[in-house]
């Protein structure tokens, strides 16, 4: 049995890449029994560095074989949810589409995640995170003011707009079933999710306080008090002193006595004031600025690399990262006071737990 608030929930994950496995990891970390359907493997155990594969068991099924498709359907009869990330029509062609699955289990929550969604003019086209966020306005808003839009890490589309919305949708659907509702299909498009994540900025644009110009707005690096700055040692710090009381502490700690800084919200002054702050921050190392600003209400933090982050004191205090089999990785989140989640096990090899899963789920071949 899994440890966490989803203990007792059963999920069937059809193997994929990127956001699909990440959603499976999230549900497993919270205690769900997530089994992954893989192609039959060669018996080798999973690699410890396959962090997103942690916590699930793997069953090897050949979905081109009708007998194995029948095994998959029998598993779905006993499942609370299914997650898959194939192009529209793939599951249907394998005899595992929503009609087939919900006929076997009317209470099943059928989670489908693709970049463009199950319908729409692009739904059958290939794409990646960058493309999905490109049509939402989010990508256009990121980058330097006089340059091209800059690709962010694929956190906005794949993981924020995709995996997290799928996890939320799955849990909402399962809760609906627990409250007496029927099973249903959850259509998660990463483009939809990325657009949803941009809701605040669309509101700000409608209110006239956000423009389509890059690096010209409050939260896109346009403001001198909300940006990253290079230190004398080539390392960086982040400053987010938006509120007047926090901005006052920034001025005090950084010695920004120039009266020009009084005009905090005068956008016409932002480029000039940013240059002044750049010059000041460049006079000390990152550690020296941490000594001055860290722990104050400036809204300050050092910009850490992935090599540095796990040993940073705050992260260590909260045990934000854990090391398993020599691999440093983020710990389960969020935290639960009564039913804490946990990493349920190491990454599985392809088909490693086939017999064990069939026995546990009481399914015969």
Q: Are 23 and 155 part of one and the same domain?
A: yes
Residue 314 lies in a domain: no
Task: List the one residue out of 66, 191, 61 whose CA is nearest residue 129.
Answer: 191
Residues 235 and 350 in one domain: no
Question: pLDDT (tens digit, 9 = 90+) per residue, 154-209?
Answer: 999 999 999 999 999 999 999 999 999 999 999 999 999 999 999 999 999 999 99
Q: Please tell me whether residues 166 and 244 are part of one structural domain.
A: no
Residue 38 contacts residue 357 (beta carbons within 8 Å) = no
CATH code of the domain covering residue 264: 3.30.1540.10
What local confidence, expressed as pLDDT, does residue 1 receive? 65
DSSP label of 94: T
Q: Is residue 318 part of a domain?
A: no
Which of 201-204's residues contact partners 24+ apart within 8 Å by CB, and which partners? 201/137, 201/138, 201/141, 202/137
| Domain membership flag for residue 285 | yes
Strand ranges (DSSP E) for the chain? Answer: 10-14, 33-38, 57-60, 81-84, 109-114, 184-189, 226-230, 236-240, 300-302, 321-324, 327-330
With beta carbons less than 8 A apart as the criterion, state whether 24 and 46 touch.
no
- The number of domains in the chain is 2
Q: Are 107 and 179 within 8 A, CB to CB?
A: no
**DSSP helix/strand/coil, 42:** coil
181 and 112 belong to one structural domain: yes
pLDDT of residue 146: 82
- pLDDT score of 2: 82
Predicted pLDDT at 147: 87
Q: Is 33 in the same domain as 125? A: yes
List active site positions.
Answer: 128, 158
pLDDT of residue 41: 82
Those residues of the chain that have pLDDT short of 50 are: none
Specify whether 34 is located in the same domain as 74. yes
Give, for 254, the enclosing helix (H) or strand (E): helix 244-254
The confidence score (pLDDT) of residue 27 equals: 98
Confirm whether 323 is domain-assigned. Answer: no
User: Which H or E run contains 202?
Assistant: helix 199-206
Range of the domain at 163: 10-197+332-361
| Residues 286, 351 within the same domain | no
Whether residues 135 and 68 fall in one domain: yes
Residues 192, 238 share a domain: no
Q: Does some domain include residue 356?
A: yes
CB contact at 8 A, 57 and 353 = yes
* Domain shared by 47 and 89, yes or no: yes
CATH code, domain with 158: 3.40.50.10540
């Amino acid at each position: 049995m899994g440890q966490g608030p989803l203990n007792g929930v059963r999920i069937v994950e059809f193997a994929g890449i990127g956001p699909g496995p990440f959603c499976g990891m999230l549900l497993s970390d919270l205690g769900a029994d997530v089994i992954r359907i893989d192609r039959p493997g060669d018996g080798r155990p999973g690699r410890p560095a396959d962090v997103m594969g942690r916590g699930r068991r793997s069953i090897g099924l050949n979905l081109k074989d009708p007998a194995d498709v029948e095994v998959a359907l029998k598993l779905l009869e006993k499942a609370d949810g299914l997650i898959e990330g194939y192009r529209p029509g793939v599951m249907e062609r394998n005899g595992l589409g929503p009609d087939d699955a919900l006929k076997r289990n009317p209470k099943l929550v059928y989670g489908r995640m693709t970049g463009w969604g199950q319908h729409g003019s692009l739904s059958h086209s290939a794409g990646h995170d960058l493309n999905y966020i490109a049509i939402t306005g989010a990508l256009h808003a990121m980058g330097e003011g006089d340059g091209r839009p800059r690709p962010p890490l694929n956190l906005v589309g794949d993981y924020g707009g995709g995996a997290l919305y799928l996890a939320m949708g799955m849990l909402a659907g399962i809760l609906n079933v627990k409250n007496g509702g029927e099973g249903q299909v959850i259509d998660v498009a990463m483009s939809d999710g990325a657009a949803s994540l941009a809701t605040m900025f669309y509101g700000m644009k409608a209110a006239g306080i956000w423009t389509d110009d890059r690096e010209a707005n409050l939260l896109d690096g346009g403001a001198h008090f909300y940006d990253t700055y290079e230190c004398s040692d080539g390392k960086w710090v982040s400053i987010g002193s938006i509120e007047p009381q926090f901005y006052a502490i920034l001025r005090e700690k950084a010695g920004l006595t120039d009266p020009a800084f009084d005009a905090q919200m005068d956008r016409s002054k932002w480029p000039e004031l940013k240059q002044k702050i750049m010059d000041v921050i460049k006079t000390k190392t990152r550690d020296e600025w941490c000594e001055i600003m860290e722990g104050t209400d400036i809204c300050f933090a050092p910009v850490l690399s992935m090599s540095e982050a796990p040993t940073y004191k705050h992260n260590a205090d909260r045990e934000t990262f854990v090391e398993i089999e020599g691999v440093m990785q983020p710990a389960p989140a969020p935290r639960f006071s009564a039913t804490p989640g946990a990493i349920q096990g190491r990454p599985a090899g392809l088909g490693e737990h086939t017999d064990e899963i069939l026995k546990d789920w009481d399914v015969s071949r």
